[in-house]
Structure formats: structure tokens, C-alpha cells
């Protein structure tokens, strides 16, 4: 899977998203301009020591991204979509794009890709969810649809034996 952030502005969100990408084996694609430098401490703090393991690619603009991924299936997460993210079928090689925190994906991009626009349902009195939360919601649905391929699905409790001595 691939997560695409179109001009992200807040380093903590991108750091959190990077950590989620590492945990899920997902590639992260950043379309410039970014609202921060990749070396910022807030980005590193949010991404913790996972950032060094992240498969991340930067693009100078949206056109550069498209040229490097011709024919790619790109889902566009937006509050302006008519379709819910649970109503589409995600493939393991799909790209899921999210826009910058203050404005989302530019309308001219959305208009050209309306059939691939998806939304997360929410109340009408809020503009949007937090970007890193939105990425996690949609990404985990896409992974669920693909049986969490490549991910560990079971954990194990380490049972401690406590002795009640009286």
C-alpha cells in the first residue's frame, strides 16, 4: 500500500503517519512543498526511532508524482467525496492520497478524479478529522480488505505467575 500526503503542513502529523506506515509496511509519498523540514525535531519526535525504517519518497509537485507512477490507482480522501471509504475495493498496490491540513487536496485535482474520491463519515458541524487519524482509519480498512497481508495478526501474552503468599 502507499500513502500520499499532498503538501502536508504539520510535522507531528507526518511523523505519526510515518510511524503508522512503518508498522504496516506501507510506503509514504510526500508531495512538496512541505510545511516543514524533514529534519525537524517535532517530526522526529512523533515518528520516534521508526523514521529511519520508513520507505519515503519526495516529489517536487503533483505532476512529478503522476509522472513517476503512470497508471497507478489513486484514491483521494476528501470531505467533498460522495463515496464512503468502506464502499470501495482497495488493492495492495493502490495509493491513498490525503491533502494538507488547512485545505485538503486542491479542488482542481479532485474534479479530475471524482470517481476515486472517498470520505470518512463525520458530523456536519466539523470541517475534518486530524490528518494522522484519517490516514490510520482509511489505511487499516484497505489493509483489512486485503486480509492484513504481511502483517502479524496475533500477539501473545507473557503470563506471569503470581504467588499469593500469606
Tens digits of per-residue pLDDT, 33-46? 998 877 767 666 65
Query: Three cell numbers at 99?
Result: 491533502
52: left (phi over 0), alpha (psi -120 to 50) or beta: alpha
State how far the Cα of 165 lies from the Cα of 7, in Å rounded to an integer. 60
**Residues marked as binding for S-adenosyl-L-methionine?**
99, 120, 128
Q: Against a cut of 0.75, is the pTM above it?
A: yes
* Residue 138 to residue 119: CA distance in whole angstroms: 9
- 94-149: pLDDT as tens digits: 999 999 999 999 999 999 999 999 999 999 888 889 999 999 999 999 999 999 98
- Cα Dmax for the chain: 73
Please answer whether residues 138 and 77 qualify as being in contact, where contact means their C-beta atoms are separated by less than 8 angstroms.
yes
**Are 118 and 76 spatial neighbours (Cβ–Cβ below 8 Å)?**
yes
More confident residue, 162 or 32: 32
Q: Domains of the chain: which residue ranges?
A: 2-145
Annotated binding site: 99, 120, 128
Domain 2-145, CATH 3.40.1280.10 — does that match? yes
Amino acid at each position: 500500500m502507499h500513502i500520499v500526503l499532498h503538501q502536508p503542513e504539520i510535522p507531528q502529523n507526518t511523523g505519526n503517519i510515518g510511524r503508522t506506515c512503518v508498522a504496516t509496511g506501507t510506503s509514504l509519498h510526500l508531495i512538496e512543498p512541505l510545511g516543514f523540514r524533514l529534519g525537524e525535531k517535532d517530526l522526529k519526535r512523533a515518528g520516534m526511532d521508526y523514521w529511519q525504517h520508513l520507505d519515503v519518497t519526495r516529489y517536487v509537485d503533483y505532476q512529478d508524482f503522476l509522472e513517476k507512477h503512470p497508471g497507478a490507482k489513486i484514491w483521494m480522501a476528501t470531505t467533498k467525496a460522495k463515496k464512503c471509504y468502506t464502499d470501495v475495493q482497495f488493492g495492495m498496490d493502490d495509493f491513498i492520497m490525503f491533502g494538507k491540513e488547512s485545505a485538503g487536496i486542491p479542488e482542481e485535482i479532485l474534479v479530475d478524479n471524482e470517481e476515486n474520491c472517498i470520505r470518512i463519515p463525520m458530523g456536519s458541524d466539523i470541517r475534518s478529522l486530524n490528518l494522522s487519524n484519517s490516514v490510520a482509519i482509511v489505511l487499516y480498512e484497505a489493509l483489512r480488505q486485503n486480509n492484513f497481508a504481511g502483517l502479524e495478526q496475533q500477539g501473545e501474552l507473557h503470563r506471569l505467575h503470581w504467588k499469593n503468599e500469606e
